[in-house]
Amino acid sequence: MFTVLTHQPCEQAGLKALYRTPAIITLVLLLVSVVILVSVTLIQIHKQEVLSPGLKYGIVLDAGSSRTTVYVYQWPAEKENNTGVVSQTFKCSVKGSGISSYGNNPQEAPKAFEDCMGKVKGQVPAHLHGSTRIYLGATAGMRLLRLQNETAAKEVLASIQSYFKAQPFDFRGAQIISGQEEGVYGWITANYLMGNFLEKNLWHMWVHPHGVETTGALDLGGASTQISFVAGEKVGLNTSDIVQVSLYGYMYTLYTHSFQCYGRNEAEKRFLAMLFQ
């Protein structure tokens, strides 16, 4: 079974057809972004931290090719087998288009964040601002800009970095994630939301669900599309597309591939070009 992740609803007729085609595909229109995983991963990396009671917060900016979305996540300080049980508590869409559209005026890029960042400050208790990590992950739009003009891409990121360094949060970086990372995050998000990693038992404790299989994920972004699924014993898959992830004490071997330029916007462009011919 496959789950389709879309970053935003798509109104274009050309894509409606694309959506309807494969009957085996379960359509899940996600309000939650792919990047929930970035926080899951971050939490894993920082497992050496001393456990303290109470809630922790994390902020993720998903800088897609068509827009940037800010997410606030929260989780109990106590982890389950080294991975946090994360929930999304707030979401804010940054006005205007994606950060890759600021290639000609990089210093303008962070201005659009102000509105959402003001709201985010109200969502996280003030005494936790300094210890709350904030992270920006840019996807295919910035990967394309980097191919076109690397200097411009660097300048956009640098301008965003200096903006976040002046914010009260613990800034952990603004970077362009690879298509492979994006695919893995999409797979984790889909399976996390479907409860394939964790479930509550009769005693309200988190346990690994018995006999549950994971779902494959198709992530239709603006400028790229990712496919990811548990590879199992399948032969003939390109080994450079195989990734291992460890979640809640379990190891998963994934096949993941990103098709650059096969996103929604690119599909629309091709569809229009076809119509004009």
Ligand X SMILES: *[C@@H]1O[C@H](CO)[C@@H](O)[C@H](O)[C@H]1NC(C)=O
Within positions 254 to 273, which residues make up the interface with ligand X, using CB under 6 A?
Answer: none
Closest distance to ligand X from the beta carbon of 16 (Å): 31
Reply yes or no on whether 182 is catalytic. yes
Site residues for ligand X, 98-117, by CB under 6 A, read: 103-104
Interacting residues with ligand X between 190 and 209 (CB under 6 A): 198, 206-208
36 within 8 A of 85, measured Cβ to Cβ: no
Q: Is 245 in the site for ligand X (CB under 6 A)?
A: no
Q: How many residues bind ligand X (CB under 6 A)?
A: 16
By CB under 6 A, residue 242 contacts ligand X = no
Q: Is 204 exposed, middle or buried (0-12, 13-18, 19+ CB in 10 A)?
A: exposed
Is residue 1 involved in binding ligand X (CB under 6 A)? no
Whole-number minimum distance, CB 195 to ligand X, in Å?
12
Give me the 45-74 binding string for ligand X, x by CB under 6 A, dash otherwise. ------------------------------
CA distances from 9 to 100, 105, 113, 131, 220 (A): 20, 28, 22, 34, 11
User: First and final CA of the chain: distance in angstroms?
Assistant: 37
**Is the backbone of residue 211 left (phi > 0), alpha (psi -120 to 50) or beta?**
left
* Interface with ligand X, residue 81, by CB under 6 A: yes
In order, the DSSP letters of 149-190 are -HHHHHHHHHHHHHHHHTSSSEEEEEEEPPHHHHHHHHHHHH
Structure token digits, residue 163 = 């903006």
Q: Does the protein bind ligand X through residue 82 (CB under 6 A)?
A: no
Look-up of token digits 């990590």? 133
Instruction: Report the residue number, 206 or 252, with the smaller CB distance to ligand X.
Output: 206
Binding marks (x or -) toward ligand X, 110..149, rule CB under 6 A? Answer: ---------------------------------------x
Among 37, 152, 176, 223, binds ligand X (CB under 6 A): 152
Would you count residue 155 as binding ligand X (CB under 6 A)? yes
Backbone angles phi, psi at 128, to 5 degrees: -100, -5
* Whole-angstrom distance, CA of residue 175 vs CA of residue 223: 17
Say whether residue 181 binds ligand X (CB under 6 A).
no
In angstroms, the CA 90 to CA 71 distance is 6
163 is a contact residue toward ligand X (CB under 6 A): no
Counting contacts by CB under 6 A, is residue 240 touching ligand X?
A: yes
Q: Which residues pair with 71 in a beta bridge?
A: 60, 91
Give catalytic residues, as residue numbers: 182
Positions in the binding site for ligand X (CB under 6 A): 80-81, 103-104, 149, 151-152, 155, 198, 206-208, 238, 240, 248-249
